[in-house]
Chains A and B, each alone.
Chain A
């Protein structure tokens, strides 16, 4: 139901402002007392925790990040404005390009190995007639382990001696000991293997939920059209999962672009920077020198990463919105 004023406003279209003005004049003057009486204070009280927490721990640091990326700060003397120098420093650091390449490589490997796998497993699992719960529990167990614990455990599994856990298992089938994280070539795939192990269960559960929401009539209809099992997967299942597949894809890219835990705990970025990722480089710039970090370079690099991720997030947001509106 429209109030009369609103109806008038709608009716007059652009002239709405002219209608509004007299009503404003009718209102009593705004004083602190009337503000409180109209609930202004309680509104503010409710907004306050959000304003304080976001203000101090989100908005202000974001503004500060932008400022700091153009400054030299050592926490002792006053910051000095240095223009684009920090960005130039990052671009001239050979490790930066190595880190970009490594992060891209990690993301690509994670995509190739980690992306299709959960889908395949979920499709097979959705057909299980008995003990379906057992399958889900087993698949989800790695997700439950605290991430730090699972990395530390795998670090021991990756022991490169012949007596290492994985190398012992390989020895049973006659494969010679592998260097795992001790080689510049094998280190990154080893990190991806662990990351995939740790994350696949979560994605499988998402796909399982999505698979149950595929309308049964669609399969019925496909069967009427004479589709076999592969035909049903290709023409019904995959198109129906398209939306969620896109979302998990972008989430995975956003996640892998910020990978830190694995390289930090497994290799510290080594051997020879073969696993140094962008976030690890940010951390190194800022935090590894006991005499004070290069905060300018660290913020400059994180801003560059942020712009990339923000574009990804916007894409994600658009897609989820379209998806939930549809």
Chain B
């Protein structure tokens, strides 16, 4: 009697363990009865019902063209904190996106699937801008992903506030001095509004300081001919950039009263009218519309001003769609087909471009958010013409940016320990904005020392 009960209890325990295993094993059975199953991550969390329906239509379209592939779209947003966890835990979908700064390292670490063979089969394989495709190329020369949506850093501004402050929204500032003058005017005439602000926390402070430094012609890291990386945040241009911020903050009092902003936080503050101008990616209107419900008719964007220096350039970035390293060859083939269909074709194929634009418009998503070309300027311009009838951001609002961007030299982000570098610089930017007298030199020297140690540890 006693032992029978004991056995029953053991059985229950065993079932429990079984359940546990059953619950956790995700459906990674790549192929069943000749079908290839593919989990893709094209949609941000919190997308509207319209956007989801539109996505569903595109999935159906893809499945119709590829009857042996079953696509399951899930919500996904790349964030530094959760990504490492999901990568280590093996819970990433079959197709997901990573930023330009991460793709090379992940590829070289063997954490992404090699898609070279399948990539070569796509119709656009030879058209790629070499510089853009480079971010998805490993040091072995193989292709590990397909870039999309590259952007340049830009100056976003609220046209409504410009008008309120007596400024002309069609004539945004074109130099740092003009930004300062406009910011000062706005802070004086529209109380409670920050004239200009930039991001400061969650590694974005360093990111935007890098942009400012590059725009003045400086670099935060230099790579020697032997490939050795030297961290050089203690340079004249970075100090000039910080001095500019210091002036805006303390002399002009034009940066408002809140100084702790990450990417999402500053977007929200901008969308709710607390900030008139800020430094952002050129495509940020997409997120402002999707996540913050911002009225795109109030939105203006222009190129971030570059100094008159041969080294001055605009920092750029973007996303790479990559394939899970655990996927089977059949899944990799299907994944590349999907990425080509979903990301690349709408930029080169008229029918795909139109269909995509219609989808976005129906979902009240930004159709013509300004991005950079992945192929060449003429393909990009043609694409703009195709989608023009569906464009939902007034052309005049983005004209200052699209007119100026092709004259700007593009600079990639610093490559070694990028996030550690950015994180360390967050503090420097915060110091300049929250403490009146800061020993900037000492702070930058400390950053150099800290990040150089990390870089040397890799190379040593």
Contacts and interface: CB of A to CB of B under 8 A. Distances in A.
Would A and B touch once assembled, by the CB under 8 A criterion? yes
Interface of A: 36, 39, 41-42, 45, 48-49, 75-76, 93-94, 159-164, 177, 179, 181-184, 267-268, 270-273, 284, 287-293
A70 B86 CA distance: 25
B314 to A, nearest CB: 24
Nearest to B17: A52
Contacts of B406: none
B426 interface: yes
B427 interface: yes
A177 B202 CA distance: 26
B29 interface: no
A162 B10 CA distance: 65
Nearest to B99: A290
Interface string B423-449: 100110011011100000000001000
Contact of A36 (B3, B423, B433, B434): B3
Contact of A45 (B6, B105, B426): B6
B249 to A, nearest CB: 11
Contacts of B260: 181-182, 267-268, 270-271
Contacts of A93: 450
Contacts of A183: 434
Contact of B192 (A76, A161, A179): A161
28 contacts: A36-B6, A42-B3, A45-B9, A48-B13, A76-B109, A161-B257, A162-B191, A163-B192, A179-B257, A182-B258, A182-B260, A182-B434, A184-B431, A267-B260, A268-B201, A270-B200, A270-B426, A271-B434, A288-B81, A288-B203, A289-B84, A289-B419, A290-B78, A290-B80, A290-B419, A292-B84, A292-B88, A293-B84
Interface in B70-92: 78-81, 83-85, 87-88
B408 to A, nearest CB: 28
B30 interface: no
Give the 9 A-B residue pairs with the shortest CB-CB distance, closest first.
A160-B257, A290-B80, A271-B434, A290-B83, A271-B430, A272-B431, A75-B88, A272-B430, A268-B201
A290 B84 contact: yes
A76 B111 contact: yes
Interface string B251-267: 00000111110100000
B201 A289 contact: no
* Most A Cβ at <10 Å: residue of B78, B83, B257, B420: B257
A239 B79 CA distance: 54
Contacts of A163: 192
Contacts of B434: 179, 182-184, 271-272
Contacts of B431: 184, 271-272
A288 B417 CA distance: 13
B274 interface: yes
Contacts of A290: 78-81, 83-84, 98, 102, 419
